[in-house]
Chains A and B, each alone.
Chain A
Amino acid sequence: RKEVEQDPGPFNVPEGATVAFNCTYSNSASQSFFWYRQDCRKEPKLLMSVYSSGNEDGRFTAQLNRASQYISLLIRDSKLSDSATYLCVSGAGSYQLTFGKGTKLSVIP
């Protein structure tokens, strides 16, 4: 079983739509959680950290459920520029990050 699992997609949504990505992790020792965004043939960039209390950054909302070992990302009012691959990530301390395979999002005009 993969340590971090997420639906690979692709998700094809129209502009303005709301889209949700889900992810599960298996390592109960994981202490930190993130969503990274990766554009085609580019490096991953941190989109947002994920906290148990939930956190919001503009159109993006992330949520963590430690009991279920489940992480989510909600994107509201999708823009063309949101088209990318979204990587679910767990971390243990300052050391390695464990990435899911990524979910590809295409926002269509």
Chain B
Amino acid sequence: DAGVTQSPTHLIKTRGQQVTLRCSPKSGHDTVSWYQQALGQGPQFIFQYYEEEERQRGNFPDRFSGHQFPNYSSELNVNALLLGDSALYLCASSQTSGGAFSYNEQFFGPGTRLTVL
């Protein structure tokens, strides 16, 4: 059973460029969350996708956008890259069930390490 996969593993971009990161969830999972982890910090929630819609969003600017496909995979797009966007971008998948007030474990992928020069 494949876990969460992400591509690419590493990426180097320059300021002002745009980037697309990809995530395939664990088999049987229908929900994808994206997190940004800067060096020395804990992961910070960017947004979550369920049923091809953004369900919740953290405190990130509109430069960060996403998409979920019918097969539950997801993309994270970042426009107009800034030096401060350099981080490990983590995708986590889970299965939504039991209503909004039940927790379902989120499984993390290995991440994409983005460097902005």
- Show the binding face of A for B, using Cβ within 8 Å: 4, 31-32, 42-46, 87, 91, 93-102
Q: How many A-B residue pairs have CB under 8 A?
A: 60
Docked CA distance A95–B102 (Å): 9
Which A-B residue pairs are the 8 nearest by beta carbons?
A99-B42, A96-B45, A43-B108, A32-B103, A93-B100, A95-B56, A101-B42, A93-B101
Interface residues contributed by chain B, number (CB under 8 Å): 30
Asked if B110 and A42 make an inter-chain contact with CB atoms under 8 angstroms apart, the answer reads: yes
Docked CA distance A43–B90 (Å): 7
Q: A43-B110, A95-B100 provided; 15 other pairs, C-beta below 8 A?
A: A32-B103, A46-B106, A94-B31, A94-B98, A94-B100, A94-B102, A94-B104, A95-B56, A96-B48, A96-B58, A97-B35, A99-B43, A99-B44, A101-B40, A101-B41
- Is B63 close to A, CB under 8 A? no
- Measured between beta carbons, the chain B residues less than 8 angstroms from A4 are 42
* B109 closest partner in A (C-beta): A43
- Show the binding face of B for A, using Cβ within 8 Å: 31, 33, 35, 40-45, 48, 55-56, 58, 90, 92, 94, 96, 98, 100-111
Asked if A43 and B111 make an inter-chain contact with CB atoms under 8 angstroms apart, the answer reads: yes
- Measured between beta carbons, the chain A residues less than 8 angstroms from B102 are 93-94
Can you name 30 A-B pairs with beta carbons within 8 Å? A4-B42, A31-B103, A32-B103, A43-B90, A46-B106, A46-B107, A87-B42, A91-B103, A93-B102, A94-B31, A94-B96, A94-B100, A94-B101, A94-B102, A94-B103, A95-B33, A95-B55, A95-B56, A96-B33, A96-B45, A96-B56, A97-B33, A97-B35, A97-B43, A97-B92, A98-B45, A99-B43, A100-B42, A102-B41, A102-B42
Name the contact of A97 in the complex, choosing from B41, B45, B96 (C-beta under 8 A): B45
Nearest-CB distance from B45 to chain A (Å)?
4
Docked CA distance A57–B35 (Å): 27
Interface hub of A4, A87, A97, A102 (most chain B Cβ within 10 A): A97
